[in-house]
Amino acid sequence: MSGFEKLLPKFGGMQDDPSELPQPSPTAGGLEGFVQRFGHVSEDYFFYDKSIVLRFDKEEHIYYRVNELGNLTMVDGVTTVCGIIDKSHALVPWAAKMVVEKLLRIIPTETVDNVISLRHLTLEEFTRFALDAKGAHKEKLESAGDIGRAAHQCLEDSIKHAIVESGNAVQTLVNLPFDAQAEHCARVALAWMQAHKVRWTDTERKIYSREHNYAGTLDAIAYVSSCNDRACCPEAFEDRLCLIDFKTSNALRTDYCLQVAAYQQAIVEELGTPIKSRIILRLGKEDGAFQPWFLPENTFTEDLSGFLTCLRLVRIMEAIEDRMKSQRNNIKTIKKEQKEAAKAQEKLDKVEAKAEAKRLREEDKARIKAEAKATREQAKQSKIKLPMETNNE
């Protein structure tokens, strides 16, 4: 196989049917299987006066509820539930743009008479450049995500420090990121806190809804006052208890509304915390931009309804997937039983054929023996009869 032919299967849509690819081996049973499955699960988190215990797998980002016998049952996570909303209408064109931009950057060019042209390439060479550009969107997400995450970590550390040391108001930032864009984003966020007289009461709190059986982690709860900019705060308020969520993204997305509504529902359901509004603070992935998004109290019911619809859809899809998996397993079991039955029947047929062949051989042997005996008897009778006839003459 040529080098070019080896490259071709790397293009999407040219692989084998996924159903025909080797499947991962099942998780081992017993203690080894438990360790493999739950080895990264965190410490206990208690809810509803310690009547409910959750654990969190940080690597897989999965919540588990600890049952009476100590076994763990997976609980739907807020972020995972909202992930069912299709975002491809925005992500696919963006990913395609990233690929084209990288391809234009890396493909060889030459300048002749002040005209930039593509250097002559074989199809194999062009294919290599195309494959290199194929993952451009992942590279962009990773580099951009570092900016947002760095700013978020700085703000989280600063809020924790303020709750413990500074009377719940962030006076200065701690652990400033080295990246200039991330630092700028954190400083603008600090300016927003000061303009809104933000006093933090809680941060990075695990939440659980007993009524709807979902879990998550909210970023923070704080007392907030409105500013004079109606574009930022559409209504005036003073010292209002708000649920605040930081989002590292390039744009504000509607599913963020559903997420924070789910957090509010859970915290109010368990503790009765009088949260009135939700505020989403966007930390720009690529440019370190900071953008606040205020969600009035009267939007909560609609947003929660949207989240619960997603939750119901997730569970319906999981049930259908389980049903299909069970059906596939049943078909596999039936085919295995049919194969084993066919083998058993084949073996039985061979035994019966062998027995029949043996019977036929024995019958043939008996027939030959009988015929030989009859021939001998006939010959004997002929010898006896011949002398008698001679005497009579």
Q: What is the DSSP string of 260-308?
A: HHHHHHHHHHHH-----EEEEEEE-TTT--EEEEEE-GGGHHHHHHHHH
Band (269; pLDDT cuts 50, 70, 90):
very high
Contact 241, 273 (CB under 8 A): yes
In a domain, 175, yes or no: yes
Domain count of the fold of the chain? 1
Rounded Cα gap, residues 52 and 31, in angstroms = 25
φ and ψ at residue 86, rounded to 5 degrees? -70, 125
Task: Supply the mean pLDDT for the chain.
Answer: 83
Strands 277-283 and 240-248: parallel
- Burial grade of 80 (CB within 10 A; 0-12, 13-18, 19 or more): middle
Band (376; pLDDT cuts 50, 70, 90):
confident
In a domain, 64, yes or no: no
In a domain, 9, yes or no: no
Q: Computed from CA positions of residues 302, 303, 309, 312, in that sequence, does the dihedral angle turn out positive or negative?
A: negative
Rounded Cα gap, residues 49 and 46, in angstroms = 7
φ and ψ at residue 290, rounded to 5 degrees? -120, 130
Range of the domain at 299: 146-314
Of the candidates 63, 77, 75, 79, the one whose C-alpha atom is nearest the C-alpha of residue 259 is 79
Grouping H, G, I as helix, E, B as strand and the rest as coil, residue 121 is coil
Band (280; pLDDT cuts 50, 70, 90):
very high
pLDDT 10s digits, 7-47: 555 554 444 443 333 444 444 445 445 444 555 666 789 99
Record the pTM. Answer: 0.70
In a domain, 277, yes or no: yes
Rounded Cα gap, residues 343 and 336, in angstroms = 10
- What pLDDT score does 101 carry? 76
Of the candidates 239, 88, 255, 272, the one whose C-alpha atom is nearest the C-alpha of residue 169 is 239
In a domain, 262, yes or no: yes
Torsion of CA 292, 286, 58, 243, to 10 degrees: 0
CA angle 35, 37, 41 (to 5 degrees): 80
Q: 218 - beta bridge partners?
A: 205
Mean pLDDT of 222-248: 91
Contact 156, 203 (CB under 8 A): yes
Rounded Cα gap, residues 195 and 232, in angstroms = 11
In a domain, 295, yes or no: yes
In a domain, 17, yes or no: no
In a domain, 300, yes or no: yes
Q: Position 148: which residue type?
A: G
